[in-house]
Amino acid sequence: MIRNYKRIVVKIGTSTLTYPNGSLNFRRIEALVRTLCDFKNAGYEVALVSSGAVSAGYARLGLTEYPDTLEKKQACAAVGQSQLMKIYENFFGNYGQTVAQILMTKDVVDDSHRLELVKNTFNALMSMGCVPIVNENDSVSCDGIRFGGNDTLSAYVGIACDADFIINMSDIDGLYNKDPRKFDDAVLIDRVEEINDEIRAYAGGAGSKRGTGGMSTKIEAAKIATENGIPMLIINGENPYKLYDILDGKHIGTYFAAKKN
């Protein structure tokens, strides 16, 4: 299926990018970057939605406790975001690719004029061969302009860059019919045609933290993406080289089919 796609958004979460102590997991980031650069070489256009700013900032600042107030989180994000970009700039640069940082807030996509402008920016960057690296603008975000997580952000980035496909790299293999850490007989769902109450129940219900990947926010992100005509795949991001399986036409993870309009 991927052969029909040209423009791909890849989303990777904090728990996949960082160690439990908050520091960046260079081995994983380098494997991810190398694979994405290979996708570029194979002719795909790639945008990366990367979390990890708060965590990297917390580690860099040497804090002993994870930030518990908004201002501390925002401060950590400011420190960590530049750390992240430095690493991405180096790793992508090693493989001859140019990165571009885009920090978004929700009010941008809620306003049709501003959305149009950001669409043009993504288009210009990707047409010039750059890899946009996107995060929420955590340091200035507040209620009302917050996406509330990078799963949601990735769906909007898919819309903003007119993507053909979104790959959400989680810390779980995909959507199961029940919690695989509690039930040995949990079955991975290969393909979802429609996001309904049954699918939501698999994810553990609204607001549930079930699954370290926070599956319910992924389902809601998949709903936004698929309703806008963009299919989404949830895979395990533990081994970024698994992205090659997708390139080789193998089925992994859970595929959410796009709605046909």
Q: Of 24-32, 51-59, 156-164, 221-229, which part binds ligand GLU (CB under 6 A)? A: 51-59
| Minimum distance of ligand GLU from residue 218's CB (angstroms) | 10
H or E segment and range at residue 206: none
Closer of 82 and 228 to ligand GLU (Cβ):
82
DSSP sequence for 67-89: --SHHHHHHHHHHHHHHHHHHHH
Closer of 17 and 37 to ligand GLU (Cβ):
17
Burial class (CB in 10 A: 0-12, 13-18, 19+), 185: exposed
122-141 positions binding ligand GLU, by CB under 6 A: 135-136, 138
Interface with ligand GLU, residue 146, by CB under 6 A: no
Interface with ligand GLU, residue 150, by CB under 6 A: yes
| Minimum distance of ligand GLU from residue 21's CB (angstroms) | 15
> What is the DSSP code (8-state) at residue 145?
S
Neighbours of 69 (CB within 10 A): 8
Rounded CA-CA distance 171/74 in Å is 24
| Of 142, 29, 140, 170, the residue nearest 95 (C-alpha) | 29
64-103 positions binding ligand GLU, by CB under 6 A: 77
Interface with ligand GLU, residue 22, by CB under 6 A: no
Rounded CA-CA distance 66/68 in Å is 6
Interface with ligand GLU, residue 253, by CB under 6 A: no
Q: Of 2-10, 46-54, 168-176, 219-227, which part binds ligand GLU (CB under 6 A)? A: 46-54
The residues binding ligand GLU (CB under 6 A) are 13-14, 51-55, 77, 135-136, 138, 149-150
